[in-house]
Amino acid sequence: MIKSVLRGFALATAMSAVAFAAAKNPTVGGAAMFDSKNIIENAVNSKDHTTLVAAVKAAGLVGTLEGKGPFTVFAPTNEAFAALPKGTVDTLLKPENKATLTKVLTCHVVAADAMAKTVAKMIKDDGGEHDIKTVGGCVLKAKENMGKITLTDENGGVSHVTIADVKQSNGIIHVVDKVLLPKM
């Protein structure tokens, strides 16, 4: 009887630990995000990132973002893409615009594992603003205000991190509310 109770307690403790560990990663687009899956494996399940996933496929970046990393991706939502001038997304998705699409997307990727608290510390250490160099060669200006991180692109567009620290097996996703655009 005591062994049975102890086994039950041990199982309940283990289940609680698993639930607690799983609860650390926020849901994105109504889908659970698993730190055991890579950026692409998680992103395809987010109903808020269907445009981003289509763009990544059109740019031929799936293999890269499934790779070892580490990567930090500032992931614009469907609403962020919809806020671009009418026809922009359709134009970017055309095969003849692959280079431009790749440039836009890689300006959302950093070759590092940057949790929000790390970015906030860099901002503080740099006196309130930190330059983040992206894989696409863009420089984003990061600022922090009342615990929220904003990114300003090279054109002055400001994006807010709406969901931070979504852990992936090959990096981090921070959901953002605007598409970050490079100087063209």
**pTM of the predicted model, to two decimals?**
0.85
Q: What mean pLDDT is predicted for residues 117-131?
A: 95
CB burial of residue 100 (10 Å; 0-12, 13-18, 19+) = middle
The pLDDT value given to residue 154:
96
Please report, rounded to a whole number, the percentage of residues in the chain having pLDDT higher than 70. 88
Average per-residue pLDDT in the chain? Answer: 88
Which distant-in-sequence residues (6+ apart) come within 8 Å of 152 by Cβ? 140, 141, 143, 158, 159
Report whether the peptide linkage leading into residue 182 is cis, meaning its omega lies within 30 degrees of zero: no
